[in-house]
Amino acid sequence: MTGEAFIRLIRERRTVYDFKPDPVPRPVLEQALEAAVWAPNHGLSEPWRFHVPGMKTRAVLAQIYARLRADKRCEPDTDAWRQTYEKALQRFLAVPGMVLVGQQLAEDPLQREEDAAAVACAIQNFQLAMWAQEVGVQWSTGPVIRAVETYELLGIEPKKEKLVALLYYGYPACVGRSRRSDWREKTRWLD
Ligand SMILES: Cc1cc2nc3c(=O)[nH]c(=O)nc-3n(C[C@H](O)[C@H](O)[C@H](O)COP(=O)(O)O)c2cc1C
């Protein structure tokens, strides 16, 4: 791949919200995880952790997701709550694949900050590697990753690891648009 093609890949990657139902083959996911771990990380702390839920785990995650969504939008014990819950459940279950990303929590606050940056780099590597294989990703930081039930389900000790992202992925049904300000507006050249 030329430098120009690589820069185009970066520019053209979009967050994807609507996926085709087709499953993404496991080797495609494995390639993206392999790219993720080549992210820069200070002191080779390798703070990223990836949790790939199978269908059983996903079914429980879907319930957590749907309950949080319905609780946020509707009064409990109402038809509206039940409708919102059911819709959210189906929406979550329809996503072809997902990975939860955790950050191993260092004792030192500066190391923690730097590890958070490294995990974000890993996530972007993941997104780009998926995009290079025609797979779209939505990086979500919704309430599911903060729910106690999610930690229990995944067997994560909250003092040792923080969930920082839920990455939904699949072949895009449609790709939206995005925009950026010109880099010149964000750049100062100093003497
Ligand atoms: C730290 C972080 C958290 C994000 N959380 C969410 C989220 O919770 N839900 C969502 O739809 N998108 C989320 N995104 C994706 C952004 O909304 C998206 O990157 C932005 O709209 C620009 O679109 P693009 O990725 O297509 O350029 C997140 C992105 C980052 C970097």
Q: What integer is the mean pLDDT of 63-75? A: 97
Calculate mean pLDDT across residues 28-45.
98
Q: What is the pLDDT of residue 93?
A: 98
The length of the chain in residues reads 191
pLDDT > 70 fraction of the chain, expressed in percent and rounded: 100
- When pLDDT is averaged across residues 170-185 and rounded to a whole number, the result is 97
Tell me which residue of 109, 121, 111 sits closest to 37, measured CA to CA.
Answer: 121
Atom of ligand 1 nearest to the CA of 15: 26
Ligand 1 probe mutation, 95, 100, 139, 164, most atoms within 8 A of CB: 139
pLDDT at 69: 97
Average pLDDT over residues 65-71: 98
Asked if residue 163 lies in contact with residue 150, where contact means CB atoms within 8 angstroms, the answer is yes
- Contact in structure between 30 and 181 (CB atoms under 8 Å): no
Q: Which CATH superfamily is domain 14-53+95-174 in?
A: NADH Oxidase (3.40.109.10)
Instruction: Determine how β-strand 161-170 pairs with β-strand 136-140.
Output: antiparallel
Q: What is the pLDDT of residues 80-132, one digit of tens each?
A: 999 999 999 999 999 999 999 999 999 999 999 999 999 999 999 999 999 99
Candidates 101, 141, 146: which one to mutate for ligand 1, based on the most atoms within 8 Å of Cβ?
141
CB 116 within 8 A of CB 40: no
For ligand 1, is residue 139 a contact (CB within 6 Å)? Answer: yes
Token pair, residue 98, equals 């997902």
The answer to whether residue 40 scores a pLDDT higher than 90 is yes
The amino acid at 162 = K
Q: Which of the four pLDDT bands, split at 50, 70 and 90, describes residue 1? A: confident
Residue 127, ligand 1, Cβ within 6 A: no
- Residue 9 one-letter amino acid: L
Task: Name all contacts of 12-16 with Cβ < 8 Å and 24+ positions apart.
Answer: 12/131, 13/127, 13/128, 13/131, 14/136, 14/175, 14/176, 14/177, 14/178, 15/136, 15/137, 15/138, 15/139, 15/176, 15/178, 16/136, 16/137, 16/138, 16/169, 16/170, 16/172, 16/175, 16/176
Q: Which atom of ligand 1 is nearest to the CA of 17?
A: 11
Q: Where are the domains of the chain?
A: 14-53+95-174
Q: What is the per-residue pLDDT for 180?
A: 98
